[in-house]
Structure 1
Amino acid sequence: MKTSVWVGILLLLLWAPSAFGQCTCFVIRCAAPNTNPVKVDFDNFMTSANGGSIMKVRILSSRVPSTCPLNDIYRARVVTVFKGCPPSSAVITIRSSCLQGELVRGSTYLLFGELDGESGTQYQVGACGKMRTWDEVLAEKFAANYLWRRRQSETCPSTGLCLNGKPLFNCFVDPCTTAVCTRPNAQCVSNYCGACKADWFLPSGKPVCFA
């Protein structure tokens, strides 16, 4: 039998409804916490950054297995928001794939997540390693620069308020009309949070031409 057929049968068994209307799961041993620093890959980082919210969080609870396979649930406190809107509560729930490794209580991570449901406090993390320890993020200059620049210019779409807490400036001239960056293919983004500034990014999202 072809490999693709076996894969299909396995997925069907994992997700088939049981007599009680819940997921039928095999007992799966999730990956242990990763104790060795992992180099943050630029392409994977920027792909993750393109969607959802980006937040620095501290894990408050140990892993709680969910009713469906390959997912764990954690409680976490939001430390800093870099993209998206601040959640309605400083304490959030994270639903994370256990394939990327168990998150450690008391440790700090960078969360790339999508709001899950209407509570405004539950986030779903993908299965492709979209959470990194904060130390791993700081070890890569491009990641630290991206997050800093993002927070200085990002506004919450629903409120229009700047994430860095500074007021929006009413500029007489679009900052990008007078700004200059000699980096090839750099794209200008006007930043009105706290001043009239121009931020430059490559098409990949990497910030360049720092003021």
Structure 2
Amino acid sequence: MKNALSRWLISIAMLLLGGCGMTVTWQEEVQLSDGRVIVVERETVRVSGGDDLAHGGSGSTPKERRIRFEFPLGSGQRVEWRSSKSDSRQFPESPLVLDIVAEQPVILTINPISEGCEVYSKYSFQNGSWIKEKLPDAFAKQATNLYLKSGPSMPSFVDIATKNRDNADIRYFRTLKQVGPRRVICSG
């Protein structure tokens, strides 16, 4: 009886722990448009469940994405951006570009808005806060400079060469490899 109770308690504990999800963290080199290279910390908070085949059958799906980096550069101060939107399947937006333009951090993201349609968004860091700015309907395209992978088995550090090789993989849609030239992209 005591042995059966112990097995039952262990099983319940494993089920409860398995439902908690996990946080995947890695560091990544990012080349800015002016040629400077910075190292950022990336994080994907994952939760158990979902039938998302795009995440390798891991049994978990992303809930939130975060980027932390030093700004102003060389100051020792850290800035954090967090994804803020999700589509009807509750996936957070994916950051594609991090840049510093006119000494102002900018993050460009993509997010599904309906079946077969995605929208790019822009966030600028102003006066200590991230401000969402609406992109024009058409604008110059920009190559992705953030790592596209964010699954449960991430390396602890991603250099630019690894990122360029992995991001060039043909499995990734064109809408992830670049931002633009249109704000809203629909397939079909």
Instruction: Please classify the TM superposition score into its range, dividing by the shorter chain length.
Output: under 0.3
User: Higher relative contact order at CA 8 Å, sep ≥6: structure 1 or structure 2?
Assistant: 2
Q: Which TM-score applies when normalising by structure 1?
A: 0.20
Instruction: Kindly indicate which of the two structures has a greater share of residues assigned to strand.
Output: 2
Bigger radius of gyration among the two: 1
Q: Which TM-score applies when normalising by structure 2?
A: 0.21
